[in-house]
Amino acid sequence: MKTIPLRDLRAAQDPVLGLPPAEVTTPDGPPLDTRGRALHDLRISVTDRCNFRCVYCMPKDVFGRDYPFLPHDALLTFEEITRVARQFVALGVRKIRLTGGEPLLRRNLERLVEMLAGLGDIDLTLTTNGALLARKAPALRDAGLRRVTVSLDALDDATFRAMNDVDFPVARVLEGIDAAAAAGLAPIKINAVVKRGMNDAAIVPLARHFRGSGHIVRFIEYMDVGHTNGWRMDDVVPAAEIVARIGAEFPLEPIEAAYTGEVAERWRYRDGSGEIGVIASVTQAFCRDCTRARLSTDGKIYTCLFGTQGHDLRALLRGGASDTQLAASIAALWRRRGDRYSEIRGANTVRLPKVEMSYIGG
């Protein structure tokens, strides 16, 4: 470990955690957290705004006309995001996902994609609700985006319109998926959050529709992120039940994870017509393998989706910190990380003042 010169230490000190100088050192090797987990993935929220008001994520009664979304100058600029991302890549990150809010609402996003694609051999991807994808897919691909994940919670138009709560039709999301496939942003992953009584009837139709298409539907257990969605355990459809329901119609068999830390448990159709994934973050917590950090829209790092407090990198960036100081601050934060929220989830943790997913990045 190389120690930073004394004069740089004060600036490099973490403004939130107040890390002691002894911990502010540049890393020789990739940092591991207190549970031995490496830093492999970075999710970047490029906006806290969204054009949908999904009832389980940004309910209208909370995210209404008067909601205090971040002012423009609070957002990291593309240059700032790229500079932070470069430090993460130097520390071992190999996968970057752009998210939000709705990332395609951020103007000239393809410019950011181009800048991040220039950081080297990283798996650069994006999660979107698909509303603007048909228009933007070719430019994103040309800028260097490799793949895309599209959220789609139901094929039944009435159910989907009720869930996004802005009356957005399924057909336009399907057009976006087709445009992304045509642009070469494949294999496309389709994310469906399952909430009991709301869209669990959509599980088998979604599997049936995308079977044989090459796209991979991933069913996500409804989670207690943020504190605006009124989450209850009874609303969760366990991944095992999702697999059983699909398997009853289309026999399935489990397959190996593509890499350590992959969030989805993979299953393939026995007849060779493709695969699905289930993300069992509630019933089978995967904290043990979690290698993800999140950068919020205003430049705070969160080391857990269920974090209550971020680490303010924007203050360092705008305070004139050097790249070495930024990297040291990130590495020190990662080395201190002990998060395992989903493993200890219970009545008390559900009440914690967690940040909203639209802000931290889904």
Name the residue nearer to ligand SAM (CB basis): 132 or 186: 132
Give DSSP secondary structure letters for 42-79.
Answer: EEEE--S--S---TTTS-TTTSSTT--PPPGGGSPPHH
Q: Is 337 within 8 Å of 275 (Cβ atoms)?
A: no
SS3 (DSSP) at 302: strand
Q: Residue 195 Cβ, how far from ligand SAM at the closest point, in Å?
A: 8
Choice between 33 and 102, CB closer to ligand SAM: 102
User: CB of 319: closest distance to ligand SAM in angstroms?
Assistant: 29
Ramachandran class of 101: left when φ > 0, alpha when ψ lies in -120 to 50, beta otherwise: left
Closest distance of CB 192 from ligand SAM, Å: 8
Q: State in angstroms the smallest separation of the CB of 264 from ligand SAM.
A: 12
Closest-CA residue to 206 (of 250, 243, 154): 154
Q: How far is the CB of 131 from ligand SAM (least distance, A)?
A: 9
Q: What's the CA gap between 299 and 312, in Å, rounded? A: 6
For ligand SAM, the closer of residues 86 and 345 by Cβ is 345
Both tokens of 77, joined, read 């600029």
Nearer to ligand SAM, 106 or 337 (CB): 106
312 and 300 Cβ atoms separated by less than 8 Å: yes
Measure the CA dihedral 206/49/305/89, to 10°. Answer: 100
Q: How far is CA 80 from the centre of its chain?
A: 19
Beta carbon of residue 177, minimum distance to ligand SAM (angstroms, whole number): 12
Q: What is the spatial distance between Cα 271 and Cα 193, in angstroms, rounded to a whole number?
A: 26
Give the nearest distance from C-beta 350 to ligand SAM in angstroms. Answer: 12
List residues binding ligand SAM (CB under 6 A).
Answer: 50, 56-57, 99-100, 102, 127-129, 151, 191, 193, 220, 222-223, 225, 229, 357-358, 362
User: Cβ closer to ligand SAM: 105 or 327?
Assistant: 105
Task: Round to whole Å and give the CA distance between 200 and 239.
Answer: 11
Q: Which is nearer to ligand SAM, 223 or 246 (CB)?
A: 223
First to last CA, the chain: 34
Q: Please report how close the Cβ of residue 33 comes to ligand SAM at its closest, in angstroms.
A: 24
As measured in angstroms, the least distance from the Cβ of 2 to ligand SAM is: 38
Q: How far is CA 141 from CA 81, 111, 117, 171, 185, in A?
A: 20, 11, 11, 22, 7
Nearer to ligand SAM (CB atom), residue 13 or residue 151: 151
Our CB check for ligand SAM shows the closer of 202 and 220 to be 220
User: Token pair for residue 27?
Assistant: 């890393």
Closest residue to ligand SAM using C-beta atoms: 362
Which residue number, 193 or 243, has a Cβ lying nearer to ligand SAM? 193
Close Cβ partners of 331 (under 8 Å, ≥ 6 residues apart): 25, 26, 27, 31, 91
Q: Which two tokens stand for residue 89?
A: 């890549």
